[in-house]
Structure 1
Amino acid sequence: MAHVVHETHQDIVNRLKRVEGHLRKTIAMIEGGRTCLDLAQQLHAIEKAVAAAKKTLIHDHIDHCLAHAAEGDPSEARTAMAEFKTITKYL
């Protein structure tokens, strides 16, 4: 199946760039000797942000790629279903 760029891809990139900055700040916090509670809170926020980006990507794939493939020829639909089965392991 061909790679398709969707409207949400830029939003995902923007989220991940914010996460990247957040991660750098958290690393600096660790190196600066911040408390475990502070660090745990920051790492939790980073995990949630990455999970939200992943969720957006997977939902976008389901909404657009899978729906489009279902409307196409049967071999494309079979390929899309196989890809969908594979992507579900990341949920």
Structure 2
Amino acid sequence: MAGYTGSKEDHLRRLRRIEGQVRGISRMIEEDTYCIDVLTQISAATSALRAVSLGLLEDHMSHCVLHAAQSSEAEGRAKIREASDAIARLVKS
């Protein structure tokens, strides 16, 4: 079971909203909207995706990592490494 199962609908709702934002940005480009206005909307969509990422990461830590750590030290260390790698990728982006 995925760690985000309990908040799946919330994540999906946010992603649908982001999907609408991205479609809106495409329309803005098609309609030759002022560059700064497009960049502002891209920034908003990026922030929204980052919020979803952080929510998924929190779910992962409180479910998957916690259960692995309770299962065995080796499994816990592996999940912590996996989460650390994911955090490093998020920070890079």
Fold conserved (TM > 0.5)? yes
| Contiguous gaps of at least 5 residues in structure 1 | none
Give the distance between the partners of 1:81 and 1:55, measured in 2 at CA: 16
Q: In the alignment, what sits opposite 1:13?
A: 12
- 1:86 is aligned to 85
Residue 22 of structure 2 is aligned to residue 23 of structure 1 = yes
CA–CA distance in structure 1, aligned partners of residues 80 and 45 of structure 2 = 31
Residue identity (%):
30
* Residues 66 and 76 in structure 2, CA contact (< 8 A), matched pair in contact too: no
- What whole-Å deviation, never above 9, does each CA across 1:10-46 have from its counterpart, x for those lacking one? 2112111111111011111111011112112111111
- Number of residue pairs aligned between Structure 1 and Structure 2: 89
Is the CA contact (8 Å cut-off) linking 1:12 and 1:53 kept in structure 2?
Answer: yes
1:9–1:57: 8 Å Cα contact kept in structure 2? Answer: no
Question: What's the RMSD between the two structures over aligned residues?
Answer: 1.6
Greater mean alpha carbon deviation, residues 5-14 or residues 50-59: 5-14
TM-score, normalised with respect to structure 1: 0.84
Alpha carbons 1:19, 1:46 under 8 Å: kept: yes
Report how far residue 85 of structure 1 moved. 2.6
SS of the equivalent of 1:68 reads helix
Higher-helix-fraction structure: 2
Match of 2:32? Answer: 33
> Is the Cα–Cα contact under 8 Å of residues 29 and 39 in structure 1 kept in the other structure?
yes
TM-score (norm 2): 0.82
Structure 1 outlier segments of 4+, above 3 Å: none
